Structure 1
Amino acid sequence: MRPSRRTLLTAALCTALAAAAPLAQAADAPITIMVGGINKIIYLPAKLTEALGYFKDAGLSVELQSQPAGVDAENQLIAGAVQGVVGFYDHTIDLQSKGKEVQAIAVFCKVPGEVELVSTKAAAAGFKSMADAKGKTLGVTGLGSSTDFLTRYLADRQGVASKDYSLLPVGAGNSFIAAIKQDRIQAGMTTEPTVSQMLKTGDAQVLVDLRTEEGTKAALGGLYPAASLYVQNTWAEAHKEQASKLAQAFARTMAYIHTHTAEQIAELVPRDYYGSDKALYVQALKSSLPMFTSDARMPAGGPETVLKVLATYKPLVKSKNIDLSKTYTNAYLSAPK
């Protein structure tokens, strides 16, 4: 028995409504953002935006999750488990070389904010620059992470081939500190407030400083935009309103950072960010504030520096293969005044 015309029309209408439902709900859907180490100062804008109420002001429901290594957060994004990642911009270029289209829609830092620390013991034994890395074990947060990218480049630039040293994923914070103290790594790349902690205890010394524009330009040849919010290009295109609200909420936070003191900012972070030494955290924060953008926009020339660094040792990343215009956009930020 053939179905009636009315039955067919009803079925078609139900199908159309079912297909439209996710789109109708998209504006109110919760957004999950994975942060590559939520208590790192380089990623402070994530928690700060939440604490300031800027997500709520924009009508967004945002859940922040923490993942110590940026490469793991990246994998969660590609799998569709999260809608955004607060991590390093360089992942967008690396992913494009692998056929994945991801873009930064808000940029937090003009420089990596990373420091290559050398243990005091290794420094005393002659480890004075990256040229001395041969035969050493160097710590990174995770293999395939931005600390991996940068460590390889810094060693290569000093004439040390990747076969001449070892990379060991040691995470960040306490696990990094333990790796240095136990001599499992002789040097490693980490961020604030871990840097200030290790300098205060005397367990490590600065080998390469990427917290300042001057230090970054000297080591990498230009500004290296790093901490950012990146999303899949297809998600941003399908959720333009949410993407715009997210980007603009972060832009408000960047303006807040540049108009408030380290002490005022420290009052907004959870106590476990600084533990029993709030003064040390404030000191680390003061030294880090200049690295933040003031408006969440991509700094001019930055993407080209990142591409140059990655292309040095990653065969798939070559300038002729990468379309930088698809790795970031300022389009979701409000027009500059």
Structure 2
Amino acid sequence: MRTPVKISAAAAVAMLALTSLTACGGGGSTAAGGKDGKIKIMVGGLDKVIYLPARLTQQLGYFEDEGIHVTLLTEPAGVQATTSLVSGDVQGVVGFYDHTLDLQVKGKQVESVVQLAHAPGEVEVVSNKAAGDLTSAKDFKGKKLGVTGLGSSTDFLTKYLAVKNGVQTNEFTPVAVGAGQTFISAIQQGSIQGGMTTDPTVAQIVDKKLGKVLIDMRTPEGSKQALGGPYPSSSLYMNTDWVNSHKKEVQKLANALVKTLKWMSTHTAEQIAAKMPSDYAQGGKELYAQAIKDTLPMFTKDGVMPADGPATVERVLKAFNPNLKNATVDLKKTYTTEFVKKSG
């Protein structure tokens, strides 16, 4: 799909609702798709910079070059995207790698096949009104903090930062506010004092002087400081059974995405922004390019999982997640480098 059709937000929601309804009747057959070169991928927010490689690959025509027809769908939070994968509505998800661990202990075998990022790309922002008494994660106690969705990666990371800094998960209130304008409105209205979000939302909040950056995890250095190591985040993950039965298709997806990561590593933020749909730059072209520039350090150049990344994710999740705390996770089953290492 070299020229994606632009649709309004309302139409997109309606289309997604229709997709979900039709999938309910035959989810199994949908999940088995892909042999005809048609693949559906759900993205946990298509216009988020942390998931930019998915749409950029489409814009550059790399999926088509590989002979596959990829339909990119969007959900506001990664947790909903994961639900779409498990129910068989889509063949893959572009979302956070940490969901593969969470799903494994729930009996679902899912693996990252292309690791797009080695840092979360997430930012904890604080509203200007609350900046006086919310100066670090130690001050989360008693606060209402925005996350994209309950059970999402922003929720996971917020809980970890709290526990790491002596605040129990029941001592603050996570509020599902999505991203973009809904997150910005929540900050403006004071329904949250701070929250975790990504670019371009971060750039817009700072530009409008509604809040400031409290914890920055857009770089590997910022990730190490906040989380104690590299935190592999944005990835293409799929059901392991589907991967094993569709290796040809998965290889083509990996080839296209790795080609995009390499392209990104040799182009400026402005050049990348110019390739994206114009309606993604809601705060203006310059601000959008700045958002991409601030987030670029999070991306890998080759799609390969960082060696000590999975262990960091496991440690983070086990710090607060009761499902994982005493569970044994087989990290080797949560990702594969088989396909990206074959991508030239």
With normalisation by structure 2, the TM-score equals 0.89
CA distance in 2, matches of 1:275, 1:318: 41
Task: Pick one of 192, 200, 214 that aligns with 2:199.
Answer: 192
Aligned to 1:118: 126
CA distance in 2, matches of 1:294, 1:73: 24
Aligned to 1:327: 334
User: What's the offset of the Cα at 1:264?
Assistant: 1.0
Aligned to 1:16: none
User: What's the offset of the Cα at 1:286?
Assistant: 1.1
* Structure 2 residue runs without a partner (length 5+): 1-28
User: What's the offset of the Cα at 1:177?
Assistant: 0.2
- Residues 1:300 and 2:314 are matched in the alignment: no
The one-letter code matched in structure 2 to 1:197 is Q
User: What's the offset of the Cα at 1:332?
Assistant: 1.4
User: What's the offset of the Cα at 1:334?
Assistant: 3.8
CA distance in 1, matches of 2:341, 2:320: 37
CA distance in 2, matches of 1:118, 1:278: 25
Aligned to 1:13: none
Aligned to 2:92: 84
- The DSSP-based 3-state class of the residue aligned with 1:122 is coil
CA distance in 1, matches of 2:158, 2:103: 19
- The DSSP-based 3-state class of the residue aligned with 1:65 is strand
CA distance in 1, matches of 2:34, 2:188: 48
Distance 1:148 1:31, change over 3 A: same
CA distance in 2, matches of 1:64, 1:44: 12
Per-residue Cα deviation, 1:162-182 (whole angstroms, up to 9, x for no partner):
111111100000000000110
CA distance in 1, matches of 2:169, 2:248: 44
- The DSSP-based 3-state class of the residue aligned with 1:185 is coil
- The DSSP-based 3-state class of the residue aligned with 1:316 is helix
Larger Rg: 1
Identical aligned residues as a percent: 53
- The DSSP-based 3-state class of the residue aligned with 2:184 is helix
User: What's the offset of the Cα at 1:336?
Assistant: 7.2
Aligned to 1:11: none
CA distance in 2, matches of 1:332, 1:167: 37
Map 1:179-328 → 2, pairs under 5 A: 179-275=186-282, 277-318=284-325, 321-328=328-335
Distance 1:278 1:237, change over 3 A: same
Task: Pick one of 115, 129, 135 that aligns with 1:128.
Answer: 135
Question: Which shifted more, 24-33 or 229-238?
Answer: 24-33
Task: Pick one of 28, 31, 38 that aligns with 2:39.
Answer: 31
The one-letter code matched in structure 1 to 2:268 is T
The one-letter code matched in structure 2 to 1:66 is T
CA distance in 1, matches of 2:47, 2:143: 28
CA distance in 2, matches of 1:271, 1:134: 40
Distance 1:299 1:25, change over 3 A: closer
Aligned to 2:151: 144
User: What's the offset of the Cα at 1:206?
Assistant: 1.1
Root-mean-square deviation (CA, aligned residues, Å) is 1.7
The one-letter code matched in structure 2 to 1:298 is M
Distance 1:319 1:244, change over 3 A: farther
CA distance in 1, matches of 2:342, 2:237: 20
Distance 1:336 1:269, change over 3 A: closer
CA distance in 2, matches of 1:187, 1:249: 37
Q: Is the 8 A contact 2:255 2:343 kept in 1?
A: no
Q: Is the 8 A contact 2:169 2:320 kept in 1?
A: no
Q: Deviating runs (4+, > 3 A) in structure 1? A: 334-337
Aligned to 2:24: none
CA distance in 2, matches of 1:181, 1:281: 21
Q: Is the 8 A contact 1:307 1:319 kept in 2?
A: no
Q: How many residues get paired?
A: 315
CA distance in 2, matches of 1:43, 1:278: 18
Per-residue Cα deviation, 1:263-302 (whole angstroms, up to 9, x for no partner):
1111111111003510011111111111110001111100
Map 1:17-28 → 2, pairs under 5 A: 26-28=34-36
